[in-house]
């Protein structure tokens, strides 16, 4: 179940194609430059974005003539589109200043903020019940509908934000599967983990979790084969051996270490490696 944006008037979704909606009404942000403009304002998280930064974001090294007028035109059109969603709003969301622009939005109105907040709540509360942690993490991950911004490529503001969101998504997935393993759901998560390891073949932690899930599912041979595949990829692509942690998991599987038993805390092995 997706995280609720409870009292929010508008909702901005950018963990996937850009969607802006309010009270069951959706507005289409037409034009690639206007979508990049909206994304740049949203990832600023309520901070003012200088004119120079937005120009760089939209046009990089090839700005049009009278570039500030061109930016103002895109801002005006975006502002009108947003105003159509909230005709009762006393002041426009898109605020104009002498040095830049700012989009007024509460954290509950932006899916990225809801996702990052949920992740941080779980990370900062290690005593949280595993079932509750799994519920919150899966709810947060359900906000993802594809590539950040629907694959729209802007400048540095957008690219850095997209990388940060993707990194946080991987962190949430790694945390989720540690909790799922603690709950004894190893067989259930094998298909998910297999798909993720296939998409991110150099992620050692996901590989480690899949090895544990396979081993606990009675598939020791598959777990060891996965380790060999990871080792070959690391050698071929990066010229390195698996980390000491991943090597420790291989040894534990070969030796049937009790720390890998169902519902045992396999993280203790990671910490001692």
- pLDDT at residue 166 in the model: 96
Mean pLDDT of 104-131: 95
Percentage of the chain exceeding pLDDT 90: 79
Determine the average pLDDT of the residues in 153-181.
Answer: 95
Which pLDDT band holds residue 263 (cuts at 50, 70, 90)?
A: confident
Mean pLDDT over the full length of the chain: 92
Distances (CA, A) of 145 to 5, 89, 148, 223, 266: 16, 29, 8, 30, 31
pLDDT band for position 79 (cuts 50, 70, 90): very high
- What would the two tokens of residue 158 be? 């957008």
Mean pLDDT of 70-85: 92
d(CA 182, CA 241): 28
pLDDT above 90 (res 222): yes
Closest CA to 48 of 104, 86, 131, 9: 104
Domains defined along the chain, listed by start: 10-106 (1.10.10.10), 200-273 (1.25.40.10)
Q: What is the mean pLDDT of residues 202-211?
A: 97
Which stretch of 26-30, 69-73, 106-110, 221-225 has the lowest confidence by average pLDDT?
Answer: 26-30
Tell me the pTM.
0.90
Q: What is the predicted pLDDT for the residue at 101? A: 97
Whether 36 and 154 have beta carbons less than 8 Å apart is answered as yes
């Amino acid at each position: 179940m997706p995280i609720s944006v409870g009292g929010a008037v508008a909702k901005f979704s950018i963990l996937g194609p850009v969607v802006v909606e309010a009270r069951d009404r959706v507005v289409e942000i037409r034009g690639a430059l206007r979508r990049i403009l909206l994304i740049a304002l949203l990832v600023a998280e309520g901070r003012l974005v200088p004119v120079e930064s937005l120009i760089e974001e939209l046009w990089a090294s090839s700005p049009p003539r009278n570039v500030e007028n061109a930016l103002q035109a895109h801002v005006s059109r975006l502002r009108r589109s947003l105003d159509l969603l909230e005709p009762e709003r006393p002041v426009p969301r898109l605020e104009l200043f002498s040095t830049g622009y700012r989009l007024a939005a509460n954290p509950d109105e932006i899916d990225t903020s809801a996702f990052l907040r949920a992740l941080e709540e779980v990370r900062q509360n290690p005593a949280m019940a595993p079932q509750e942690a799994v519920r919150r993490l899966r709810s947060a991950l359900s906000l993802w509908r594809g590539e950040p911004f629907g694959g729209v490529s802007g400048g540095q503001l957008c690219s850095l934000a997209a990388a940060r969101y993707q990194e946080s998504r991987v962190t949430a997935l790694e945390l989720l599967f540690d909790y799922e393993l603690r709950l004894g759901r190893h067989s259930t998560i094998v298909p998910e983990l297999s798909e993720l390891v296939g998409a991110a073949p150099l992620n050692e932690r996901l590989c480690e979790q899949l090895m544990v899930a396979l081993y606990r599912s009675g598939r020791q041979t598959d777990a060891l084969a996965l380790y060999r595949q990871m080792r070959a990829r690391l050698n071929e692509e990066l010229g390195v051996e698996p980390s000491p942690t991943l090597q420790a998991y291989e040894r534990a599987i070969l030796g049937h270490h009790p720390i890998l038993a169902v519902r045992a805390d396999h993280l203790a092995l990671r910490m001692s490696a």
